[in-house]
Amino acid sequence: MLVKKTTLNDVLIFEPRVFGDERGFFMETYRADFFSEQTGAKPLVQDNHSKSAQGILRGLHYQLEHTQGKLVRVVQGSVFDVAVDLRRSSSTFGQWFGLELSAANQRQLWVPEGFAHGFYVLSDTAEFVYKCTDYYHPQSEISISWNDPSIAINWPLVNDQLPNLSAKDQHATAFVDAPTFA
């Protein structure tokens, strides 16, 4: 598996080797020893799978307790995936990184603990799969506004239409008011 650094400290792109022929393909998407060696992260303990329609934006989410690192990928369709550094001690604090993840490019993004995460669905539908370093803890979840001007994420909105947001994300916190990490 090829591992690439991004513009954010500790956020990595994993590109699996794909072996294919007329029958289909095979790829290794995760191996604990290699992943641990590359990231130094805690073991991954929970898998999640969501399906969303075009124009849905989920995020920017993180947990204050039971913080989660996430290894994310798309198994159907495509999304624009974003990580925002919330670690005050980091030289990339408050900065974002985004890239397209799709079933076609088969990339994965490692979003460590201490980052907010979100994605926007570009295709008609997308199935998003991710592994986490801790369990979902809704009592400590925070949502930062997707369009916060101090972060200034350049979301590639389909037909320049505003995204479809959950009620939680419609009432998200401004970055300046959001709790961050040391």
61 noted as active-site residue = yes
Residues sharing a CB contact under 8 Å with residue 94, sequence separation 6 or more, in sequence order? 84, 85, 86, 150, 151, 175
3-state helix, strand, coil in the chain (%, to 5): 10, 45, 45
Point out the catalytic residue in the list 30, 61, 135, 171: 61
CA distances from 67 to 10, 74, 116 (A): 15, 22, 10
User: Could you tell me if 122 and 80 are in contact, meaning their C-beta atoms sit under 8 angstroms apart?
Assistant: yes
130 noted as active-site residue = yes
Point out the catalytic residue in the list 117, 130, 135, 136: 130
Residues sharing a CB contact under 8 Å with residue 120, sequence separation 6 or more, in sequence order? 55, 56, 57, 79, 80, 82, 155, 156, 157, 163
Strands 18-21 and 57-63: unpaired
What residues are annotated to the active site?
61, 130
